[in-house]
Amino acid sequence: MFKYLIFLIICFPVFIFSSNYSLEDIATEFEMNENIVKNLSDNGIKNTNELLNSNLTATIRVKNSKKYSIKIDKLHYWVSLCDLMRINGIGSSAAKLLYYSNVKSISTFTKTDLEKLEKTLEETNKKYNFAPFTPNLEQLQNWQKQAQKLENILK
């Protein structure tokens, strides 16, 4: 019982602050066709965490874009979305909204002025209609607090 309690105390923050989605579930939002999803899956990449962790640096992304026959800008876009989706409550739509508002990583999000971002998100969502609603300042503050607790892994 004591070991289980220690496990929960140590690991609980990880469960709170990590989101993981199967590539099949987010393929449409990511604009991935089924051939790309299958190719990635056949190479052991079946979810957003695996896509992110297998593409942490620019050098690796270039190599993998050739390996998987994916344009480098598309792979970079997907990896950026995966990084943002590590924040609990940010799914593919919110990640796209942030990305197109020039917040392309956890590192960027932790340093962003949230009042300015709230206005930018509203404008971006009006233009692209990514999400059914635009996150308010309170939600952005919640996400930023979570982001500040996550390791900046994307290089």
Domain spans of the chain, in order of start? 21-149
CB burial of residue 100 (10 Å; 0-12, 13-18, 19+): middle
pLDDT of 19:
73
pLDDT at residue 15, rounded to an integer:
36
Distance, in Å, from the CA atom of 27 to the CA atom of 25, rounded to the nearest integer, reads 6
CB 140 within 8 A of CB 118: yes
Question: Is-contact 80 90, C-beta < 8 A?
Answer: no
Q: Report pLDDT for 30.
A: 93
pTM for this predicted structure: 0.85
Q: Letter for the amino acid at 147?
A: A
Distance between CA atoms of 59 and 52, rounded to whole angstroms?
A: 14
Given this model, what pLDDT does residue 2 score?
41
Mean pLDDT by 10 residues, the chain (155 residues): 37 47 92 94 95 96 95 97 96 95 97 97 96 94 96 92
For residue 47, the cross-strand partners are: 22
pLDDT at 16: 38
